[in-house]
Structure 1
Amino acid sequence: MSTLENDNAETHHTSRITTAGLLIALGIIYGDIGTSPLYVMKAIVPGRIDANLVYGGISCVLWTLTLQTTLKYVLLTLNADNNGEGGIFSLYALVRRRGTWLSAVAIIGGAALMADGIITPPISVSSAVEGLEAVYPHLPTVPIVIGILVALFLLQSFGTQIVGKAFGPIMFVWFGMLAVLGIMGILHHPEILKAANPYYAYNLLVNTPGGFWLLGAVFLCTTGAEALYSDLGHCGKGNIRISWIFVKLCLLLNYFGQGAWLVAHQGEELSGRNPFYALMPSWFLLIGIGIATMAAVIASQALITGSFTLVSEAIRLNMWPKVKLNYPTDVKGQLYVPSMNRLLLLGCIGIVLYFQKSEHMEAAYGLAITITMLMTTLLLSMWLQAKKVPMPLVVLFLLVYGLIEGSFLVANLIKFPHGGWVSVAISLCLISVMYVWLRAYYIKRRLTEVVPLATYLDALRELSKDESIPKYSTHLVFMSSAERPTEIESKIIYSIFQKRPKRADIYWFVHVDTTDQPYTMEYSVKELAVDDAYRITFRLGFRVEQKINLYFRKVIEEMVRNKEVDITSRYESLSKQHVTGDFRFVVLEKYLSVENDFPPMEKVIMQAYFYIKQFIASEDKYFGLDTSSVKVEKVPLIISPAQDITLTRIEDQPSPVTAP
């Protein structure tokens, strides 16, 4: 076993606590949760300002950030890292061997996270831009919001390496502004600090008519908690935990400051005013709106990058079509998924056009993310069991957070008719795609016929020496899905010997094995026939880019240096010049044969699979193969042969002779 010499083989996260790491955490980790003060209090107090509502709402926000964000995510969930990486799919990779049903949990959680991610950029940018209405009441904000979003998505293909360096300082300014504005508000009405007493939260939820349903609005303060875990690999748990102390303090100061302003104006109608902007002096308003807009763009960027990462992980786990992945810069984790970028852009524009205003988006936001948090709780309980945590503590964890997140989910259900159905519909579409892709993967694997390779090695040698057949390539490389090195798919044998005999000097069989560790980069070589056939197995982590063409070339170079193989062309004229022989890849793509008779459910799944597949680029692009030297062959996938059909032969009847 060898390790590939590649940058991705390095550890992906920074474990040391540094100033740079803390700034990176501010810029990448807290974009979503850091912009929640733009809309949370406006959602909790939508109409007439009531003091009980304000005190109860502030108290609920404080204890939600403490129990949900701090205790569950920052202190507990960050420990469930997969070689320094976090997120629901990384957590699933850690525990998936404990039950096949866990794949459904991961699919539901991942799909819901991506679905709510489509609403996050519009609501963040809209909330920031709508602050301009305080200065320009008749300004149309929708075109401005769409313009900012379009520019943001167009920039994705260039990567965010340069912009990313500015994220941390900008977010530091943002959080500093939150704290200063909050302190100014608190100084005008210090009594608001009483809201730290959990009694006010209890009073709102239990004694205030309709108070329980305000949990849907309160939940908006912690929607970015899942991003804390998903972005763990960017800067390490130490930097996240230290920076969270500063972030939480700034957030709470601002929430209490907004509460102070609201209490000072109790009895009034909010009438479209945003308590966040109401805290600002008039001379600072435009500056504050500018800073808020930059923070909203950063929050959107974090969600977009997170969606790309989710898709790439889902692909490695066979839960998403093998779409093209680009790596625009050399920064670890820097990823661009063109197809997902287009879908997100269209989804965000659709959200803005449909809802128009941020307050309408608030009515829809948060429903899907509560489902993600519940799924994370289930997976985390399995991880706690794997870590030998006493069962009573695991049950207590499940009960406490099942109750908290279950309450948030029930409260958020009232958002369904007000736009919450949008995120649920998107979630269901994504769940359907993931389910179809995973089931189809297992169906194809079950029905892939493999044969002992040793049976055909002599025939390969004979074919290689048969000069009566035109040489197809000096080196012929097949992508193989057979897991055992002693076996090969029957379709590959058919392609070599029958479809069109493919004579080559050396046959290479390449297999890619995706590991549960995120950044594994290893390979092994097995000599099947001396100087005639080899098998290379790559063990790549689920976050590693599939550059098979590059990796294969590096392996060949190492084998040549070790004198394990001679890749010089065997054409007599070229051999004298020591010219390297040509390499040609063959990728076999399956299609659904019409000669099938299979169970109705599998039929629906496979038809859906192949319907989606026609919109996806071929697998050679996913594997990063050189398109000039790749042959893609279509082979039928026969799930079950059609039942025998009996045909009856009849004798030809003589044509009637017409009398002259």
Structure 2
Amino acid sequence: MSDHKSLNKISAAGLLISLGIVYGDIGTSPLYTLRAIFNTVNDSGQAINSVVVLGALSCIIWTLTLQTTIKYVLITLRADNKGEGGIFSLYSLVRKKAKWLVVPAVIGGCALLADGIITPSITVTTAIEGLQVKFPSVSVIPIVISIIALLFIIQQFGTSLVGKLFGPIMFLWFAALGVLGITYVVQDLSILKALNPYYAFHLIASNPMALVILGGVFLCTTGAEALYSDLGHCGRDNIRVSWIFVKATLIINYLGQGVWLLQHPNYDDHLNPFYQIVPEPYLLFMVALATIAAIIASQAMITGSFTLISEAVRLNLWPKVRINYPSNQKGQIYVPSINWLLCGGCIAVVLLFKKSIHMEGAYGLAINMTFLATTILVAVFMRTKRVPKYVITIFLIIYGSLELSFLAGNMTKFLHGGFVTLLIGSALFTVMWSWYVSRKIKNRFVKYVEIEDYYPIISELSEDESVPKYSSQLVYLTSANFKTEIESKIIYSLIQKEPKRADIYWLVHVDVVDEPFTRDYKVEFLIPGKLIRIDFRLGFRVEQRVNLLYRKVIEELVKNGEVDITSQYTSLNRHKIAGDFRFVLLEKHLSRFSKLSFYERTIMAYYFILKKLSLSEERSFGLDSSYVDVEKVPLIFVTPDDIELNRLPV
């Protein structure tokens, strides 16, 4: 709790860290937002005049105000889960309220991952394209691919060292944005009229291209979700205070670009207003700074994707994958499979679209889905906090209308690249949804029995010397939530399949709780000295290294004299040598004869393909394979009652 409070305190270091971690994505949006809007205007044959420029700028300013400032900075940051943020942290806070909430959570999570593929591609490409202002013949694609490849290669070594430089560099970036903007704003103060929301309403109401323009405007707020996702790294107050500075510099820069557009109404489509307001002597410096800012934005998205997947694995929304911890820094994780998936996706996007101007169509559509999902989950969270119903209704109407308008605007870009994002998001959705539904199907067929009925048999089996000893300490992982129950498959494995004699039988149960960093355990002596159950309560951000956790508990129990793990073999017992441990994992497979619908059989078939590609049970639980026996059991037992036979007379 003290860590959470100290993190929330405003400090110079905290403000600098939040600049480096939180604002990379939203901070690089001036590179491409106005270019996207006015290329659309140019293509439609409209003249670039003060009505369109002031209207577009007003839309940007009020989108940043309504969407980023009010929805995320003021409202959503309140939904912190013991100091942690992000769509799965939010889902963990509300998931007990309704089962259907998994749908927006999964859609939002998949859209964020799809965004993790588009963000590095568009930001790095746009930054490097600035070189073409001075060197028109320079080849951008090889430079972009080299930077992206290098960025993903260094992930495995941890980024804590580089991370310390992010804050000062992003401070320099935002200061440069503000200075560049002011140099043009002072040339035409009438641009400040854009602060009036009237111009935004007028543009939306009167311009025939309003929807398409909104699709471009949306690019200014694409990094808003990162504010919430990085809550755990920076603390709410540091994010809120640093946002004042960030928002001011962003708006000033947009206004400066607006002045340049008014001065050059017939500008060439290939020019980027952002680089046109940079004085020529500083162009190369600005390209370098923009590239570093783009790399920082990409790094934030990559790190966010790793966190997202690790949470999805713990919440049973994603197949078990290898997760590494490259440094001792809290929250610093590396997921190899996702790293190379994102890397391949980014390079494919760059090669497919070739120019950042073509990527703008793919960008925005995915994150729009995340915004809608967050709106739904935040509304449910507000209900849990007993916020008056009329306030929640107003929240839903305002943000539902706003985000659906943006969605309509983004859908106009569907054929111009938006379909790519939707394909990526849909592919990720099939993985998450199948993994979630298959678990529900499996749980339906898990049969539990009263464990007390088997106490006498287990006690006698442990003493029965006619049965060869299987192991001194025999451990089963159980999914039974109550100590009175046990899966019938465990009893079948223990007593019938191959009777397993052991000195002590252990049942280990892992319960993933809705708090992020909980590490609790409870021990129940079901048959004193013979059958012991350990229940772990682990937060959704805690690594489930069952082997280490189990051994830690055993050490505590031995130290307290609650259990004796000395080997019962006479020769070893004399020397007080600890007995051996063996884990038994039961792996389910789908028998050909089963009572599943076509939809369920399809889901299960996909699940078993994903299971083959994912981490094995023993590796995902951190178990040493030399101490583990994996037994295959059918998901659905076929009994004689399921088969009809006619006996013919002799």
Q: State if a TM-score over 0.5 links the two structures.
A: yes
Displacement after TM superposition at 1:404 (Å): 0.8
Aligned equivalents of 1:343, 1:647: Cα separation in 2: 55
Aligned pairs (5 A) from 1:111-510: 111-266=110-265, 268-510=266-508
Partner of 1:137, secondary structure, is coil
Displacement after TM superposition at 1:13 (Å): 7.6
Aligned pairs (5 A) from 1:511-526: 511-526=509-524
User: In the TM superposition, what whole-angstrom CA distance separates every residue of 1:523-575 from its partner, at most 9, and x where no partner exists?
Assistant: 00000112111100000011111111111111111111111001122222222
Aligned equivalents of 1:360, 1:51: Cα separation in 2: 26
1:16 equivalenced with 2:9 (yes/no): yes
Partner of 1:472, secondary structure, is strand
Aligned equivalents of 1:242, 1:597: Cα separation in 2: 58
Counterpart of 2:24 (choices 4, 26, 31) is 31
Aligned equivalents of 1:24, 1:631: Cα separation in 2: 47
Kindly indicate whether the alpha-carbon contact (under 8 Å) linking 1:206 and 1:212 is maintained by their aligned counterparts in 2.
no
Kindly indicate whether the alpha-carbon contact (under 8 Å) linking 1:49 and 1:269 is maintained by their aligned counterparts in 2.
no
Partner of 1:507, secondary structure, is strand
Q: Which amino acid aligns with 1:236?
A: G
Displacement after TM superposition at 1:117 (Å): 2.1
Displacement after TM superposition at 1:650 (Å): 8.5
Aligned equivalents of 1:13, 1:303: Cα separation in 2: 25
- Equivalent residue, structure 2, for 1:658: none
User: In the TM superposition, what whole-angstrom CA distance separates every residue of 1:70-101 from its partner, at most 9, and x where no partner exists?
Assistant: 01100011001111111111111111122111
Displacement after TM superposition at 1:595 (Å): 2.5
- Equivalent residue, structure 2, for 1:615: 613
User: In the TM superposition, what whole-angstrom CA distance separates every residue of 1:507-531 from its partner, at most 9, and x where no partner exists?
Assistant: 1110000111111110000001121
Kindly indicate whether the alpha-carbon contact (under 8 Å) linking 2:211 and 2:408 is maintained by their aligned counterparts in 1.
no
Distance 1:210 1:640, change over 3 A: farther
- Equivalent residue, structure 2, for 1:73: 72
User: In the TM superposition, what whole-angstrom CA distance separates every residue of 1:456-512 from its partner, at most 9, and x where no partner exists?
Assistant: 222222222222333222111111111111211111122222332222111111000
Partner of 2:102, secondary structure, is helix
Kindly indicate whether the alpha-carbon contact (under 8 Å) linking 2:309 and 2:318 is maintained by their aligned counterparts in 1.
yes
Aligned equivalents of 2:457, 2:489: Cα separation in 1: 16
Partner of 2:235, secondary structure, is helix
Displacement after TM superposition at 1:295 (Å): 0.7
Counterpart of 2:35 (choices 14, 18, 42) is 42
Aligned equivalents of 1:260, 1:221: Cα separation in 2: 18
Q: Which amino acid aligns with 1:18?
A: S
Number of aligned pairs?
Answer: 643
Partner of 2:307, secondary structure, is helix
Q: Which amino acid aligns with 1:637?
A: L
Aligned equivalents of 2:319, 2:200: Cα separation in 1: 45
Of stretches 639-648 and 607-616 in structure 1, the one that deviates more from structure 2 is 639-648
Distance 1:13 1:624, change over 3 A: farther
Distance 1:639 1:419, change over 3 A: farther
User: In the TM superposition, what whole-angstrom CA distance separates every residue of 1:215-261 from its partner, at most 9, and x where no partner exists?
Assistant: 00000000110111111111110100000011111111111111111
Identical amino acids, percent of aligned pairs: 55
Aligned equivalents of 1:424, 1:19: Cα separation in 2: 40
Q: Which amino acid aligns with 1:122?
A: S
Aligned equivalents of 1:269, 1:282: Cα separation in 2: 18
- Equivalent residue, structure 2, for 1:5: none
Compute the TM-score of the two structures, normalised by the length of structure 2.
0.96
Any stretches of 5+ residues in structure 2 without a counterpart?
A: none
Kindly indicate whether the alpha-carbon contact (under 8 Å) linking 1:55 and 1:195 is maintained by their aligned counterparts in 2.
yes
Displacement after TM superposition at 1:648 (Å): 5.5
Partner of 1:525, secondary structure, is strand
Any stretches of 5+ residues in structure 1 without a counterpart?
A: 1-7, 652-660
Aligned equivalents of 1:405, 1:25: Cα separation in 2: 26
Kindly indicate whether the alpha-carbon contact (under 8 Å) linking 1:598 and 1:640 is maintained by their aligned counterparts in 2.
no
Displacement after TM superposition at 1:315 (Å): 1.7
Kindly indicate whether the alpha-carbon contact (under 8 Å) linking 2:567 and 2:580 is maintained by their aligned counterparts in 1.
yes
Aligned equivalents of 1:321, 1:448: Cα separation in 2: 20
Aligned equivalents of 2:6, 2:524: Cα separation in 1: 33
Partner of 2:282, secondary structure, is helix
- Equivalent residue, structure 2, for 1:545: 543
Aligned equivalents of 1:275, 1:416: Cα separation in 2: 25
Aligned equivalents of 1:647, 1:287: Cα separation in 2: 87
Compute the TM-score of the two structures, normalised by the length of structure 1.
0.94
Kindly indicate whether the alpha-carbon contact (under 8 Å) linking 2:88 and 2:311 is maintained by their aligned counterparts in 1.
yes
Partner of 1:614, secondary structure, is helix
Kindly indicate whether the alpha-carbon contact (under 8 Å) linking 1:13 and 1:85 is maintained by their aligned counterparts in 2.
no
Of stretches 452-461 and 377-386 in structure 1, the one that deviates more from structure 2 is 452-461
User: In the TM superposition, what whole-angstrom CA distance separates every residue of 1:271-304 from its partner, at most 9, and x where no partner exists?
Assistant: 3111111111212111111111111111011111
Aligned equivalents of 1:253, 1:297: Cα separation in 2: 23
Kindly indicate whether the alpha-carbon contact (under 8 Å) linking 1:475 and 1:504 is maintained by their aligned counterparts in 2.
yes
Of stretches 495-504 and 340-349 in structure 1, the one that deviates more from structure 2 is 495-504
Aligned equivalents of 1:317, 1:519: Cα separation in 2: 14
Kindly indicate whether the alpha-carbon contact (under 8 Å) linking 1:13 and 1:84 is maintained by their aligned counterparts in 2.
no
Q: Which amino acid aligns with 2:612?
A: Q
Distance 1:579 1:224, change over 3 A: same
Q: Which amino acid aligns with 2:77?
A: L
Aligned equivalents of 2:229, 2:638: Cα separation in 1: 41
Aligned equivalents of 2:322, 2:453: Cα separation in 1: 37
Partner of 1:45, secondary structure, is helix
Aligned equivalents of 1:9, 1:553: Cα separation in 2: 29
Aligned equivalents of 2:104, 2:6: Cα separation in 1: 26
Displacement after TM superposition at 1:53 (Å): 2.3
Aligned equivalents of 1:90, 1:422: Cα separation in 2: 28
Q: Which amino acid aligns with 1:41?
A: L
- Equivalent residue, structure 2, for 1:583: 581
- Equivalent residue, structure 1, for 2:102: 103
Displacement after TM superposition at 1:323 (Å): 1.6
Aligned equivalents of 2:57, 2:638: Cα separation in 1: 62
Kindly indicate whether the alpha-carbon contact (under 8 Å) linking 2:368 and 2:407 is maintained by their aligned counterparts in 1.
yes
Distance 1:456 1:639, change over 3 A: closer
